[in-house]
Amino acid sequence: MAKRPLTLTGKQRRQLKGLAHDLDPIVMVGAKGVTPTLLEAIDQALTDHELVKVKLLESCPVPRKEVGPLIAEPLDAHEIGLIGRVLILFRRHPDTPVIPLKG
């Protein structure tokens, strides 16, 4: 897996938030919290789509503001934002990037 760039600019984060607006959550975090199986599913979704939404269900035992780093760091992804109970993640595809980033 390719290393993510160290930082995204504010302009790039806004661009990605805008692109994520119409997306539906692909993965849901439930009562078991952040598990290796969940990380595998999100890893695959990031490889397939680059930009994904993750829904945090009410039953999630981890506080919503702490889930982002628990998922993003081991997957080498960027936490783009947390809106309510929806986490937006981005990881550029190492071989064939689909989303052109501005700036």
β-pair type (78-83, 51-56): unpaired
Query: How confident is residue 3, by pLDDT bands cut at 50, 70 and 90?
Result: low
Under CATH, to which class is 25-90 assigned? Answer: alpha beta
pLDDT at position 35, please? 96
Tell me if residue 87 falls in helix, strand or coil: strand
Query: How confident is residue 22, by pLDDT bands cut at 50, 70 and 90?
Result: very high
Domain ranges of the chain: 25-90
- N residues, the chain: 103
State the SS3 of 6-55.
CCCCHHHHHHHHHHHCCCCCCEEECCCCCCHHHHHHHHHHHHHHCEEEEE
pLDDT at position 102, please? 84
Whole-model pTM: value is 0.91
